[in-house]
Amino acid sequence: MELSDRARAAQDAIEPVTSFFVSLRTMDRQAGVVDLAFGDPHEMPLRGLVDALRANLEPRATDWFAYKSSLAPARETIAEGLRGELGLPFDSDDVAMTQGAFGAIALAFRLVADAGDEVVFPEPGWFYTPMLRAANLVPVRAPLTPDGFDLDVDAIARAITPRTRVVVVNSPANPTGRVYARDRLVELGAVLEAASARNGRRIWLLSDEPYRRIRFDGIGFTSPAECYPWTLVDYSYGKVLLAPGQRLGYLAFSPLIPDDVRTELRAALLPLQMGLGWTFPDALMQYAVPALETVSIDVAELQRRRDLMVAALGAAGYDLTVPEGTFYLWSAAPGGDAPAFVTALAGRGVFVLPGTVFDRAGHFRISLTATAAMLERALPALRELAPR
Ligand code: PLP
């Protein structure tokens, strides 16, 4: 065996995803297939994104494409945005530019957790396990509430042990689309404060909020950073720009973290991002940040697509979680067997993501980033396989 334990563990952790890809490849990918599996674009990229890149493509100095770490104009734009959105006095020196939220999460885990430390995250939840395994950390799942997939603070409290170093909260949440209310987050803050005192070691909160700006019906957003001082916030532009292939994101330290700790964290950024393989976004992406700050997909149109699907699938008898944000629609699979349902649907030319990839074999996820026409085309097959 030549592979490292870490590589093997990451491979095992992502097995349900890789086997889903393999099954997609073996299915007939004829023209006309409606692919609702991933949060990928199905229309041409946003004009604002292309303009921002083009405006910065022409070099203005000999060092335009020299080695760059986290550039000040990008950090300043982001800190100002965070001050407005989260209502906390973020400092631009506490913003690390990263390759999307993936890069920010990987950085956060290595900044504060040591090999063997436990990291608690919600289930169903996003793909934190391979990243944890690759960092020699131990994944611990805390289920969301059975009714409505809300944050279950008691379940998180039960999952905490003396080895817990980080708790991850993802709101708006993938795959459920839920946005967690302030009360729950305040409760969580109290639990983390008490558990840190009991453990004699600080438990960090990682707020994974790449969908922060993608919310429906005017629902408000409370960042966990507002409810617990020891919070690291990660963000990605890949969602709001619907351009996940252009890697751009950040990790920000809450201004409520004590000054001496923030000074330590800041000093560790460059060595750690270098140690991880120079994980800063490309220079061009960083130059574009000030112009990109106001560019967004049409969230009202996304909400119309959500409404269309919620109404149609609800009428067909699907047991849905109505999303309050994100790109996704989460539903129980008819018959309770998501892999069988997803295969039957794929046989009718419609691809969705089985809940197995989120540790929930009885559910499936539809991506609403498809065009309205694609969603309409998917409906007959979804109706045909409906519970009633
Ligand atoms: N966190 C969550 C909850 C996500 O859904 C995703 C992407 O799907 C990410 C992080 C990573 O985002 P990116 O690929 O833009 O880095």
Domain boundaries, the chain: 5-46+297-384, 66-292
| Index of the ligand 1 atom closest to the CA of residue 173 | 3
29 pLDDT band (50/70/90 cuts)? low
pTM: predicted TM-score of the whole model, two decimal places = 0.96
28 pLDDT band (50/70/90 cuts)? low
Q: How far is the CA of 207 from the centre of ligand 1 (A)?
A: 12
Spacing of C-alpha 171 from chain mean position: 8
Q: How far is the CA of 260 from the centre of ligand 1 (A)?
A: 30
Fold for the domain defined by 5-46+297-384? Aspartate Aminotransferase, domain 1 (3.90.1150)
Lowest-pLDDT range of 105-109, 207-211, 341-345: 341-345
Distance, in Å, from the CA atom of 189 to the CA atom of 225, rounded to the nearest integer, reads 9
pLDDT of residue 13: 85
- What CATH code is assigned to 66-292? 3.40.640.10
What is the residue-wise DSSP string for 111-150? HH--TT-EEEEEES--SHHHHHHHTT-EEEEEEPPTTT--
pLDDT of residue 169: 98
| Index of the ligand 1 atom closest to the CA of residue 244 | 15
Query: Which tens digit of pLDDT belongs to each residue from 276-305?
Result: 999 999 999 999 999 999 999 999 999 999
133 pLDDT band (50/70/90 cuts)? very high
pLDDT of residue 22: 74
State whether the beta carbon of 249 lies less than 6 angstroms from ligand 1.
Answer: yes
pLDDT of residue 164: 98
Q: How far is the CA of 249 from the centre of ligand 1 (A)?
A: 10
pLDDT of residue 319: 97
Residue 178 parent element (H or E): none
State whether the beta carbon of 209 lies less than 6 angstroms from ligand 1.
Answer: no
pLDDT of residue 25: 64
The crossing angle, in degrees rounded to 10, of helices 15-26 and 5-13 is 60
Query: Which tens digit of pLDDT belongs to each residue from 62-98?
Result: 999 999 999 999 999 999 999 999 999 999 999 999 9
26 pLDDT band (50/70/90 cuts)? low
Percentage with pLDDT > 70 across the chain:
98
